[in-house]
Copies of this chain bind each other. A is one copy, B any other.
Amino acid sequence: MKLLTVGTVAFDAIETPFGKTDKILGGAATYIGLAASKLGAQVNIVSVIGGDFPQEYIEVFQKNKIGIEGIKEIKEGKTFFWAGKYHIDMNNRDSLATELNVLENFDPVIPESQKDSEILMLGNLHPAVQLSVLNQMKKKPELTILDTMDFWMNSTWDLLMQVISKVDVITINDAEARQLSGEFSLVKAAQKIQEMGPEVVVIKKGEHGALLFNKKQVFFAPALPLEDVFDPTGAGDTFAGGFAGYLTQTGDLSFEGLKKAIIVGSALASFTVEKFGTEKLQELTSQEYKSRLEEFKNLTEYNYII
């Protein structure tokens, strides 16, 4: 199988209680691509960058065998830029700057050879862009995964509902699940969201783990308790990329397969937060990854209680 993702490729400037960065490589599609490629998945990105996007960042994609044929460069434009500041609890952040730049008129074009991708991951973007990507696919992918956020619920509800009705899986955080469904209970929220289209709902709770619902079952993936969360930027996208990448590699779309995929997503996300930006994800070794999976297993495994 191969994975296609549409999302931002961006510059981020990040400030946390542990330090701050200048403009560094960021964007949802970047994290999704890196996470999936770390699992050996064939992943292609559809996105847009400006003429200011440096060659060394292009090489990050190339080195990780991430397909960039679908990343359009607008030479006279500037790359999307986000600056943000986290506080001590790391669950809250202030956006200090959001410069859409080339993203403002982003018209995604899927390369012909990628229109038959079996797994499609729609990164958090304007629902019209997500819809355009969905419509360009030659046939319905075996699995379409949607990430979105409260901003689109507030500004483009009807379009968002169109996208939601067409996807198999939605990943969303707990506050957004509550807003989208109007239900406080996450169990009820998941049921309401399933009625909007997706059979599978993944609710991300940050440091509190993630819940996976299909119409009959529920599964919980913990977050690894860490000594320090250094920089949470990209954790959600890494999670989604690990999830989609694992499914691309195994092709197992059963609930058992989805369970393992959210553990893999959680494991990869636990690395992302250990350093600024994509740094830890880029340098990650397969030995570290395997050992982290073992830690996740030990975190929740116990013998039967009689």
Contacts and interface: CB of A to CB of B under 8 A. Distances in A.
A176 to B, nearest CB: 15
B225 A184 contact: no
A66 interface: no
Categorize the interface residue count of chain A.
Answer: 35 or more
How often does this chain occur in the complex, in copies?
2
Contacts of A185: 226-229
Contacts of A205: 208
A300 B220 contact: yes
Interface in A253-269: 256, 259-260, 263-264
A90 to B, nearest CB: 9
A302 B263 contact: yes
A260 B302 contact: yes
A264 B218 CA distance: 19
A106 interface: no
Contacts of A300: 219-222, 300-301
B264 A305 contact: yes
Contacts of A302: 219, 256, 259-260, 263
Contacts of A225: 186-187, 211, 218, 220
A217 B219 CA distance: 23
B298 A217 contact: yes
A186 to B, nearest CB: 6
Given A88-B184, A89-B184, A184-B88, A299 B226 contact: no
A138 interface: no
Contacts of A89: 184
A211 B208 CA distance: 11
Contacts of A222: 209, 220, 222, 300
Given A88-B184, A260-B305, 18 more contacts: A185-B227, A186-B225, A188-B227, A208-B208, A209-B209, A209-B222, A211-B225, A219-B298, A220-B225, A220-B299, A222-B222, A222-B300, A260-B302, A260-B303, A263-B305, A293-B305, A300-B300, A301-B301
Interface of A: 88-89, 184-188, 205, 208-209, 211, 217-222, 225-229, 256, 259-260, 263-264, 293, 297-305
Q: Closest 7 interchain pairs by CB? A: A300-B300, A208-B208, A259-B302, A220-B222, A187-B227, A220-B299, A187-B225
